[in-house]
Amino acid sequence: MVNRSHGKLYLEDVLTTTINKGEKVFIPYIMAGDGGLDHFIPTLQKLDQAGATAIEIGIPFSDPVADGPTIQEASKRAKEHGVTLQAIIDILKQERDTIKAPIIFMTYINPIYKYGIERLMKEVKEAGVDGLIIPDLPLEHLSLIEDARTKAGIALIQLVSLTSSRKRMKEIASASEGFLYAVTVNGITGARQSFNEDLQEHFNDLKSVSPTPVLAGFGISTKEHVKQMTSFSDGVIVGSQIIKLLQNDDMGEIKQLIEAKD
Ligand SMILES: O=P(O)(O)OC[C@@H](O)[C@@H](O)c1c[nH]c2ccccc12
């Protein structure tokens, strides 16, 4: 069963409430169906209980161009388990109300096309999805999905890169809903040793133009990274490291990563 109040407003409400309490946001990313579809809902429930502010769910896809080896392999494992977008939506329709945290789908545009844009927006709404990240859909092509998406009331989160011009930064920040996803490295997803030294200045620039919270993602894998990033952002998104820890069922370490945010 799905509570009707899911969507853009719910995501905004949860993030604003968190930040207004003086807390930071932590969004773990998982690959749906890594380890089999049976693990999907229990994993979401565990992350919800461990203090995730929201949860980003990746849809298995054969050509994940923005992803490094950890997420590519997770995608391959999920596909080997026969996990499909349809199955993910169907199971969420049943179980969504057992998870409090807002849910964000991360998918490339191709699976959305294949599913049918109108049909997908309608069904993800019914499944209680609150936001979407579509990394290969630039601002110039938003019109492809906008009618169906706004009708469904689902937030579309925009990614901004380190190399965007000031003008572009502003455009992306104004278009983003829920939060602004600030990519902290040049390149693909996956753990990094260290980050560029002028990140703080970059985040100050982003915060000055962004109407929504500014979250840092890509390469964050240690408690020290979480602390560093939350010192100048509204919170973090952690993917590859969460996927590795979930493979070992290491919820203790995941909790510690989440707790490092405040
Ligand atoms: O895995 P990392 O380096 O922690 O990065 C975050 C990330 O996994 C998640 O947000 C993500 C996974 N695939 C993406 C593709 C594009 C943008 C974002 C993502």
Domain boundaries, the chain: 8-259
| pLDDT of res. 36 | 96
- Tell me if 102 CB under 6 Å of ligand 1: no
Dist. CA 189 → ligand 1 center (Å)? 5
| pLDDT of res. 2 | 61
> Which residue is closest in CA terms to ligand 1's atom 13?
67
Strand partners of residue 57:
30, 105
Pocket test for ligand 1, best of 25, 29, 185 (most atoms within 8 A of CB): 29
* Residue with tokens 């049909």, as numbered in its chain: 119
Q: Which sequence positions are flagged as catalytic?
A: 56, 67
- Tell me if 107 CB under 6 Å of ligand 1: no
CATH top-level class for 8-259? alpha beta
For residue 189, the ligand 1 atom closest to its alpha carbon is 3
Mean pLDDT of 222-234: 97
Mean pLDDT of 23-41: 97
Pocket test for ligand 1, best of 70, 108, 218 (most atoms within 8 A of CB): 218
pLDDT category of residue 88 using cuts at 50, 70 and 90: very high
**How far are the Cα atoms of 77, 206, 249 from residue 234, in angstroms, in the given order?**
32, 11, 28
Neighbours of 96 (CB within 10 A): 19
> Which residue is closest in CA terms to ligand 1's atom 17?
135
pLDDT category of residue 191 using cuts at 50, 70 and 90: confident
Q: How many residues does the chain have?
A: 262
Name, in order, each residue with C-beta under 8 angstroms of 203's C-beta and a sequence gap of 6 or more. 182, 214, 216, 232, 233
C-alpha span between 222 and 231 (Å, rounded): 14
- Tell me if 105 CB under 6 Å of ligand 1: no
pLDDT at 1 over 90: no
pLDDT category of residue 193 using cuts at 50, 70 and 90: confident
- Tell me if 195 CB under 6 Å of ligand 1: no
Q: Where are the alpha helices (DSSP H) in 4-161?
A: 8-20, 40-49, 69-80, 85-95, 109-115, 117-126, 143-152
> Which residue is closest in CA terms to ligand 1's atom 11?
239
Q: To the nearest whole number, what is the mean pLDDT of the chain? A: 96
- Tell me if 218 CB under 6 Å of ligand 1: yes
| pLDDT of res. 98 | 97
